[in-house]
Chain A
Amino acid sequence: EAGVAQSPRYKIIEKRQSVAFWCNPISGHATLYWYQQILGQGPKLLIQFQNNGVVDDSQLPKDRFSAERLKGVDSTLKIQPAKLEDSAVYLCASSLFSGNEQFFGPGTRLTVL
C-alpha cells in the first residue's frame, strides 16, 4: 500500500512570494489533514478535510493560507504572501475516517528568506 505522498520535499522562497504544496493521501482515506511543524515544536493542525469538505480550519491563518481538496482526493495548501515565520515543515496526513489512526507523509520543508 502506497503511503501519503507530498511534493515538493524542500522549497526556498523569499518573503512576500507565493508557494503551494501538494498532498496525495492513501487511497480510500476520507480524512486529510495539513499540519505545520515549526522547528523545536510538535505539529500543529492547520486544516482538516472530510472528503472535499472542511471540518476544522480554526488554526489556519486565512489571510494568507488557503487549502483545497477537490474531488476529495489530492489536496493543495497555498501560502500567499509568505512571511519569515512561515518557515516550517508542512506535514500532510490521512486517515480512513475521522478518528482513526493518522498516517503522515514525509513533509515539505519550507524556508522563507
Chain B
Amino acid sequence: AQKITQTQPGMFVQEKEAVTLDCTYDTSDPSYGLFWYKQPSSGEMIFLIYQGSYDQQNATEGRYSLNFQKARKSANLVISASQLGDSAMYFCAMREGGYSTLTFGKGTMLLVSP
C-alpha cells in the first residue's frame, strides 16, 4: 500500500487566491511526522512546513498552513494568497517513529496564473 498518496497530479490557481493540495498517509505507528516540500524547476527541494502526530494545533508558516485531520489520516497543505513564484511541484512526505527516513508522495504540480 502507498504510504503517502497525493491524488492531484496538477492544480491551477489564480494569483492571490488560496489553494489546497491534498495528502493522505498510511501508518500504524502512533508517532510520525508529516512534511511538505516545494520543488521548483531548478530541482532543489525546499522545506515548507512540518506537523508532528502529537501536535495539538495545525502547523502554520507564513502563507502555508497544514490542515491536519488525524482520524482521516490527511495532511493537506493550504497556500493562501498564491503568488506566481509558488508555481512548482509540491511533495508530501512522512517520517515514521524513530526513523529519519522520509517517504515521499508522487507530488502535485501547482501552476499559478496572473
Binding site for B on A (CB under 8 A): 31, 40-45, 48, 55-56, 89, 91, 93, 95, 98-107, 109
How many pairs, one residue from A and one from B, have CB atoms within 8 Å of each other in the complex? 51
Rounded to whole angstroms, the CA-CA distance of A19 and B50 in the bound complex is: 35
Q: Is the CB of B106 within 8 A of A41?
A: yes
- With A104-B44, A106-B44 as known contacts, state yes or no: A40 contacts B106, CB within 8 Å: yes
How big is the B interface, by class? Answer: 20 to 34
Rounded to whole angstroms, the CA-CA distance of A56 and B102 in the bound complex is: 12
- With A95-B100, A101-B50 as known contacts, state yes or no: A42 contacts B91, CB within 8 Å: yes
Q: What are 22 A-B contacts with C-beta separation under 8 Å?
A: A31-B100, A41-B106, A41-B107, A42-B4, A42-B91, A42-B93, A43-B91, A44-B104, A45-B102, A48-B101, A55-B100, A89-B43, A91-B45, A99-B95, A100-B100, A101-B35, A102-B102, A104-B44, A106-B44, A107-B43, A107-B44, A109-B43
Rounded to whole angstroms, the CA-CA distance of A40 and B93 in the bound complex is: 15
Instruction: Tell me which residues across on chain A come within 8 A of B12, comparing CB atoms.
Output: none
B28 interfacial by beta-carbon distance below 8 Å: no
Closest-by-CB residue of A relative to B89 is A42
Instruction: Tell me which residues across on chain A come within 8 A of B4, comparing CB atoms.
Output: 42
Partner of B100, one of A43, A44, A99, A109: A99
Rounded to whole angstroms, the CA-CA distance of A89 and B99 in the bound complex is: 24
Q: Is the CB of A105 within 8 A of B44?
A: yes
Instruction: Tell me which residues across on chain A come within 8 A of B98, comparing CB atoms.
Output: 99
Partner of A98, one of B47, B100, B104: B100
Instruction: Tell me which residues across on chain A come within 8 A of B93, comparing CB atoms.
Output: 42
Instruction: Tell me which residues across on chain B come within 8 A of A101, comparing CB atoms.
Output: 35, 47, 50
B89 to chain A, nearest CB (A): 9
Instruction: Tell me which residues across on chain A come within 8 A of B47, comparing CB atoms.
Output: 101-103
Instruction: Tell me which residues across on chain B come within 8 A of A55, comparing CB atoms.
Output: 100
Closest-by-CB residue of B relative to A4 is B44
Q: Is the CB of B104 within 8 A of A43?
A: yes
Given contacts A45-B102, A104-B37, A106-B42, 10 further A-B contacts (CB under 8 A): A31-B100, A41-B107, A43-B91, A48-B101, A55-B100, A100-B100, A103-B47, A104-B44, A105-B44, A106-B44
